[in-house]
Homo-oligomer: A and B are copies of this chain.
């Protein structure tokens, strides 16, 4: 039996006990996990140093090494994250519906855990802690398959968390880490129907597409974001600049940042200069269509492939549109149904945009950067779903649950 099958079976067995734990038992376990991260931080940092050393030898980029690196501050943040999860309401056991049928049957719809959640992710070791905390709080068992570049860190972190669980009501087997760094262990997880109930990929485009295209286990697709901001004719200049620059440059590496700015022709003729100056100050490279370059000749030329590209960097496409309709058509063509914004003072245009654009989050006069579980007030986030099934947009704890019907009778049969 392979490591993946063996550990998933253990997780499934543990999952059976998880659904009956009380909120207090789960919270107590999470607090022990948080404490253990702090008391064991030296060992975690030591393990992390091995990953960093190997990463340097393998020529990882500075930004990847930065994502990988742990220090006391980052470990404290991970522990705080767990403590925050304990403060969130526990959705498990909630009665979502309750009704009586004419034949006397009483039917309840109850929130239950999903069961075993598989998380496939990349270099950031904080995902290990975060995903474990969110899945366990919602009564799920979790099988983690992190990136090989963080293997020493993840192994030590899970060892520390297991130590905490051994002193709690949560069975240690509810938390599993796959150590096999080969791609074959991912391939195996994708087909583990019956042992894994749901897969959540977290990472870059190719990781997510591999999971979406090849899994037979149900998937919650997260992450890819080619987001747009449309600056309408009636937009206020200062607000448009503030929102657009924030959407692009406040943190370009994340999925809710803007990749393409669409500007109404009349607004552009007046103000594209001012926008360009603001982006230059934010060190953003602009790539314009022909009409944009006529107005601001210093822009580079946008290539055909640029419109669908998630740069995750200080690069922005700029396109001039004749009207709202042309903006909607562009978003329909190139958007990834993540986050889309209109900046306008025209109520009717805002209303049409918010109705017509098919995306997880549609904004009027606010930065797309707000698409985030914490910014929405969920207190946690396992990812941002870009699919339409099960959950859409930032996913808080309820996205990690399912339901079941309980039916109470006194001998009813169907005629």
A-side residues, CB < 8 A to B, are 16, 19-20, 99, 101, 105, 107, 112, 114-115, 193, 197-198, 212-214, 216, 218-221, 236, 239, 242-243, 246-247, 250, 332, 354-356, 358-367, 369-371, 375-377, 387-390, 392-393, 402-414
Given A115-B358, A212-B216, A407-B366, A243 contacting B402 (CB threshold 8 A): no
A361-B405 in contact given A216-B214, A355-B20 (Cβ < 8 Å): yes
Contacts of A370 in B (CB 8 A): 105, 407, 412, 414
List, sorted by A's number, 29 A–B pairs whose CB atoms are closer than 8 Å.
Answer: A20-B356, A99-B377, A101-B375, A101-B377, A107-B376, A112-B358, A114-B389, A115-B358, A198-B388, A218-B387, A239-B410, A243-B411, A250-B413, A359-B404, A361-B404, A363-B409, A365-B409, A365-B412, A366-B408, A366-B411, A367-B413, A369-B414, A371-B405, A375-B414, A389-B389, A392-B402, A392-B403, A392-B404, A392-B405
Known: A246-B414, A364-B408, A388-B114. A193 touches B216 (CB 8 A): no
A386 smallest CB distance to B (angstroms):
11
**Copies of this polypeptide in the complex:** 2
Chain B residues positioned under 8 Å from A364 (CB to CB)? 406-409
In the complex, which residue of chain B has the Cβ closest to the Cβ of A332? B16
Chain B positions within 8 Å of A390 at CB level: 389-390
Q: How far is the CB of A96 from chain B (nearest CB, A)?
A: 11
- Residue in B107, B356, B362 whose CB lies within 8 Å of A407: B362
Q: A99-B377, A212-B193, A377-B101 are contacts. A243–B355 as well, Cβ < 8 Å?
A: no
Cβ of A246 and Cβ of B388 under 8 Å apart? no
Cα distance, A19 to B352, chains bound together (Å): 12
| Distance of A389 Cα from B198 Cα, bound (Å) | 7
- Most chain-B Cβ atoms within 10 A of its Cβ — which of A16, A355, A404, A407? A407
A389 CB contacts on chain B under 8 angstroms: 114, 197-198, 218, 220, 389-390, 402
Cα(A130)–Cα(B388), bound, Å: 22
Q: Contacts of A411 on B, CB cut-off 8 Å?
A: 236, 239, 242-243, 365-366
Residue of B nearest to A12 (CB): B332
Contacts of A412 in B (CB 8 A): 365-367, 370
Chain B positions within 8 Å of A105 at CB level: 366, 370
